[in-house]
Chains A and B, each alone.
Chain A
Amino acid sequence: MLRALLLTLSVVAIAHAELCKPDAQNAFKVRISIKTALGDNAYAWDANEEYLFKAMVAFAMRRYSSKSTTQISNVLLCNVTDRVSFWFVVTDSSKNVTTVPGSEVEAAIRMNRNRINNAFLLSDKTLQFLKITSTLSPPVEPSTPVWLIVFGVVLCLIVAGIVFLIISGIRKHKKKNKESTERENLEEKVEVTLENGIPCEALDIKAGHVNGVFAADDERFTSL
């Protein structure tokens, strides 16, 4: 009995060893960089973390294929190094000693990548599935590009400045013109025709007076 048990166990172990080894079919390499991601808060990678990893992969497979047949024992880890990198493979419990096709595993991981990352407090870069590329998030594009808004503000300021300067220039010009025409008018008034130092207009205004002295003198001369 015991011998039969030991035999089956060893067969399973060998089978597992056959299924999970570097570059095996449907096996994926995982590389984890905890210290890079968390620095001082880094946790150590031990058997408990490995258990969590197996649980997450099983969870991903269950969610993807929505049949609850994948168990934690179906996920096999091997070749764990100090780097923290290892290979894993998912066995199919319904079919004996076979692995789930790589494409299924890949699709399942991809679908639940976010959940897996968050369970370990890591990101796509620090929890790397070497053959599974991550989808890149599209960049956030605002409806109007920011630069256009800034440009609009700058242009409005410039145009306002130009309009202000032109209007103030026109006003100054008008004031100068008004001043110069006023001065011209003033000069015109001064440029009067003068006769013997007396403005003609003054002479016109005051009607010429006949000087009685001279008028009287005329009678003294004898008429010819």
Chain B
Amino acid sequence: MSKDLSAAPELPKEDGRPKWDNKFQYILSCIGFAVGLGNVWRFPYLCQIHGGGAFLIPYFIALLFEGIPLLHLELALGQYLRKGSIGAWNTISAYLGGIGVASWMVSVLISLYYNTVLTWVMWYFINSFQEPLPWSVCPLNENRTGFNEECYESTAVNYFWYRKTLNITPDIAESGRLQWWLILCLAACWAIVYLCTIRGIETTGKAIYVTAIFPYLVLTIFLIQGLTLPGATEGLIYLFTPNLSTLKNPRVWLDAATQIFFSLSLGFGGLIAFASYNPTKNDCEKDAVTVAIVNSMTSLYASIPVFSVLGFKATTAYWDCLDRNIINIINEFDLPEESIMRQNYTSWISFLNSSYPEKIAGLKLKSCDLQEFLDQSVSGTGLAFIVFTQAIILMPGSQAWAILFFIMLFSLGLSSMFGNIEGVFTPLLELQIVPKSAPKELLSGIICLISFLIALCFTLGSGSYWIDIFDRYASSVPLLVIAFFEVIGVVYIYKINRFSKDVEWMTGRKLNLYWQITWRFISPLLLLIVFTAFVTLQLQKPPSYTAWNPKYEGFPMKEEKVYPPWVQAICVLLVALPCMCLPLAALFHLVKQKRRSKDPSLVPSEVFSCQGANINFSHPKE
């Protein structure tokens, strides 16, 4: 009765969950998460070493049978259950809650080291404002009689990377000191991450417009510039010429499968978190296909400027080699200048070799082969910080190109960091680690502060060796395991029919045969094969690394070293920790269930109150 006079309006039922401002923001966030540094510095390298255009065949097969199905699975899961990874998997089945915890743990580990890579990018960015670029000249030695020895024996670019940036130690066991300049840049990077993720998707949704779109602009600028450089066409021809015989090597298929898998950022929990902020009636099938295709197209699009620039660099190095030989010959035989040009070099050499073989032999001329220079393939940080920086010095207006390039890398990495942080943030928010009354800014601040403090150990002298370890172990095998159990969990424990109905309810149309077949059989099988092959390959040789040691006799070649036992133990720990969460969580839940069934007093009282309520609501007999 009192209800009638209640003046308060009845509020619509909201679960208070934040949501995307619009669909475009959500798609852009997923694309930004998937498109990262690997699209620029891993995919072109794989294309190059695995037979150019021929690599696209296993790549697209892997995309079709592994990438798109898994992506659709994660997005549909997050969207339907409207929870982060831990909550979502606990809802699917309490025994599978470990998958969520494992995802969360992997996101934490990867956030730590990924932001340190961004620290290096930021360091190079702020150094790009100097004229001339600091990595273009060697510094002088102490008594100013010549160049610094380490720099002189390798190159100025190598010296700037290994000494001025990393200040690397010759061995992973030697930790060295904390590099204060890297600490400053690390603090700035975590401050930027905090600024963008301060209120969860409310702020990242705005930031993503810049960080996801800007790289495409810069890639286009580099594409136009790259194609005008001499030698660009050689680089592109080299990249895309298909060599179908490489497809016989199973390694190529494995690399394609792992590349697609890691490129789409599956298994991190970030995609589930992003999708959970969607309205439930959203076409996740179309989203998944869109994101996957855009990611692959970006990889292809990025490889064009990368290879134009690499072709330019190889051509310039080839010309330098020829020029040096020509100068030596001219000086030795006192021939007039410009008598030997690059074009008639070979004819001159053959003539001189036949007439004065001892003199030619005495000159110790280097053999200049363009193919050899093109073959020098690098991936990862080597591509960005050594090869590309060297190419940038050769371009006119090098500062502008350097600034553009490093801002682009930073945006690419930052948009991936948003997904990583979201994978950490959303489950913690749901688990209510921080009381609900406390603002979200506090939780994100705590996450960023703790991550910054832990990541300080990557700024030590041996930091880059540790980042390699994290990259190789923490972000590879656990993700494959998580993804495998994700598919198995949804298809066989939650039951595919139930899931199909859920997806049908969300998208408004039935799941077609492609999804049924890939989810049920092909994707789990592929994942199992990839996992076994990957682990077998890793175990075949003792884990080793290459160290930068100026005292090594083969310097400037890097020294091949084996990890000491305690480091190998840490590698195993990095792999085992997330993977152990799966059985441990299941065991924990099993034990909890057993204790509940043994002790009936522990049965929750809600059961009784429900029945009591039922009695109260039955009409009393008049």
Interface of A toward B, CB cutoff 8 Å = 31, 33-36, 81-85, 135-136, 138-139, 145-147, 150-151, 154-155, 158-159, 161-162, 165-166, 169-170, 173, 183, 186-187, 189-191, 194
Contact = CB atoms under 8 A, between A and B. Distances in A.
B195 A194 contact: no
B441 A169 contact: yes
A33 B331 CA distance: 10
B198 A83 contact: no
Given A35-B338, A83-B335, A151-B126, 10 more contacts: A33-B337, A36-B337, A82-B334, A83-B337, A136-B147, A151-B184, A169-B198, A173-B439, A191-B6, A194-B5
B203 interface: yes
Contacts of B184: 151
B16 to A, nearest CB: 12
A146 B128 CA distance: 9
B126 A138 contact: no
Nearest to A130: B331
Contacts, number: 90
B126 A154 contact: yes
B8 A190 contact: yes
Contact of A82 (B188, B195, B335): B335
Contact of B198 (A135, A165, A186, A191): A165
A136 B140 CA distance: 8
B192 A136 contact: no
Contact of A169 (B126, B192, B199): B199
Nearest to A162: B195
B336 interface: yes
Which of B7, B126, B338 has the most C-beta atoms of chain A within 10 angstroms of its own C-beta? B126
A165 B203 contact: yes
Contacts of A190: 5-8
A32 to B, nearest CB: 9
- Nearest first, the 7 closest Cβ-Cβ pairs linking A and B are A81-B334, A82-B336, A83-B334, A150-B126, A35-B337, A190-B7, A147-B126
B108 interface: no
Interface in B123-137: 123, 126-127, 129-130, 137
B337 A154 contact: no
Contact of B8 (A136, A165, A187): A187
A42 B129 CA distance: 36
Contact of A183 (B8, B129, B194, B337): B8
B140 A154 contact: no
A34 B2 CA distance: 105
B144 interface: yes
B146 interface: yes
B195 A165 contact: yes
A86 to B, nearest CB: 10
B92 interface: no
Helix, strand, loop or mixed for chain A's interface? helix
Interface residues of B, number: 38
Contacts of A85: 331, 334
Nearest to B192: A158
Given A81-B334, A183-B8, A146 B129 contact: yes
A189 to B, nearest CB: 8
B404 interface: no
Contact of A138 (B140, B195, B337): B140
B129 A139 contact: no
B144 A136 contact: yes
B330 interface: yes
Interface in B156-193: 184-185, 188, 191-192
Given A158-B195, A190-B5, A138 B331 contact: no
A173 B126 CA distance: 37
Contacts of A161: 195
A34 B439 CA distance: 73
B7 to A, nearest CB: 4
A158 B5 contact: no
Interface of B: 1-2, 5-8, 122-123, 126-127, 129-130, 137, 139-140, 144-147, 184-185, 188, 191-192, 194-195, 198-199, 203, 330-331, 334-338, 439, 441
A83 B332 CA distance: 10
A161 B197 CA distance: 12
Contacts of A146: 127, 129-130
Nearest to B131: A146
A162 B337 CA distance: 62
A187 B10 CA distance: 12
B337 to A, nearest CB: 4
14 contacts: A82-B336, A84-B336, A135-B144, A138-B144, A145-B130, A147-B127, A151-B184, A158-B192, A159-B191, A162-B195, A165-B199, A169-B198, A190-B6, A191-B6
Contacts of A165: 195, 198-199, 203, 441
A165 B191 CA distance: 13
Residue among B129, B130, B334, B336 with max Cβ neighbours from chain A (10 Å): B334
B338 A166 contact: no
A83 B126 contact: no
B331 A83 contact: yes
Given A146-B129, A190-B5, A162 B334 contact: no
A81 B441 CA distance: 78
A158 B126 contact: no
Contacts of B147: 136
A135 B143 CA distance: 11
Contacts of B127: 146-147
Contacts of B129: 146-147, 150
B127 to A, nearest CB: 5
Contacts of A183: 8
Nearest to B199: A169
Contacts of A166: 198, 441
B7 A186 contact: yes
A119 B460 CA distance: 53
A81 B139 CA distance: 36
B560 to A, nearest CB: 33
Among A84, A147, A150, A191, the most chain B Cβ lie within 10 Å of the Cβ of A147
B7 A154 contact: no
A161 B198 CA distance: 11
A79 to B, nearest CB: 9
B442 to A, nearest CB: 10
B533 to A, nearest CB: 44
A35 B439 CA distance: 72
A194 B191 contact: no
Nearest to A187: B8
Contacts of A155: 188, 191
Contacts of B441: 165-166, 169
B5 to A, nearest CB: 7
A13 B336 CA distance: 28
Contacts of B194: 162
A187 to B, nearest CB: 5
Contacts of B122: 154
A155 B191 CA distance: 8
A162 B191 contact: yes
A107 to B, nearest CB: 16
Contacts of A158: 188, 191-192, 195
A85 B439 CA distance: 79
A20 B59 CA distance: 71
Given A82-B334, A186-B7, A151 B188 contact: yes
Nearest to B127: A147
A159 B195 CA distance: 8
